[in-house]
Structure 1
């Protein structure tokens, strides 16, 4: 009996996945990840240890989950600069609610509701008020940071209930729950983007919003939903950060938006919209995590980490811009 007779569905999925990799910009990103990993394994013997590789995935969980939501937004040709502030605000409110009620599950609910509300505010402002995503989310970032400081009075909240910390502090067979959750959410998000009508509408809106509208797609609803998804993803990331630190700090997740955007753009998602994938974002998250981990192992100053991330964003945007202009010239010729 041939393999095709045994599992034709599995073969089809494998061919689809292979075609996705070969027909996209993923190969250079994967090659970069391999080259950087090999170089670091030569420069520091501790890089390829099982504990360090697990640590990379665990440390990348917050950025990775936030990047899932950012991918939806950026494919619609939007941007979310408020993700770090959203993580801090929702985490702080959730911690205060959990301490006040003595119930961690109330705190979890508060985190998700607040984070989703921030995403809904961004989405409504962009889709119905027709404000520029950059300006809206920049303003939201400032408001959310200010609210976090005001609510907490600049003080951290400690000794959180165990149930609130579970997602970020527990483990299954010595594998952190946060790492498992990150991988699971990437799988679900990949399915939504590549296999559902909503995912196809996300690409359509990002590729040409007017054409999507003429095709009967409710563009405003799709854009609004993308920002709500980004908000919920930020809330889940906040829960993981709370569990990891066993505290809520007013300055939590500062600079996370840079890492999130870097991971998404490096992963091949175009800032011009209409192009991107969760597989690419996942590889981008791993590349950022590997670089951060490698610089730490090599005792490189933490100041260089932001420089490298900014340089990677610049390079990714430059390559995307060149590729877009090339395709535009080819389509006209």
Structure 2
């Protein structure tokens, strides 16, 4: 899923926003929402292929953008407070909120704030990644080290607490985002690169259609060690390295075809965290009512397209006003007053 960094802590004022990043975030969240909506329909070949394809790069995309937008993070009081109010508090709220549908539908109440459930893993991982930002910015070869840690994480049976497998496995994408500069994104907007990006995305979809049935789904979820997926560490490390490379390539291709001008959905892209955190409730309900019509190619297409509409609705001002208390809570009452330097 993302989702990218919460809006209030990631961007400057509206007057100087670059619509390119808002466009990229909205288009990416539509992939997340649509991907989750068709997840329960993967018995249909086209749904399984689409799910596999999207999951190779949709969360890496959000993570790269989150890393890029976190380049200025420090341990200063103001940044620390935003980290708590924009990630830590919403994590607790939605970890508890997602426990309720499980209780109602499955009669199971299982709350563990250290073991993220469903969508909340991203908030936990982003919190940890952002805390580590100053460290990566002082290393000489941060991306090499991040990739090494990602590969090593697959050789160990890490605990579910703190979403360790995903946090370490997807770490290279966050570090890659930290290393990017505006000129890198400017290069993606060149006409030749945009054409190459479109070709790459089409080719990636064709490859996914050809291999999706042969590749275990767990490789695109980053949740388990190599042994748990059924391969030795050498094979698993090579596969993970390939998944990192494929994800980075498709992220670059996706960003290359993203419009840089202001569009009808640019404003919606400012609030993708709302769509990310809220859509899971709709998905869990929708899965209970899928009929035989949904388990067809046309049904999958209809469900996937409905994800675009759902993402758009959840980013609209009325929804944001109604749920701001949970997604972007105002926490000034919980902090002491900032001291201005003498």
> TM-score w.r.t. structure 1 length?
0.35
User: Which is richer in helix?
Assistant: 1
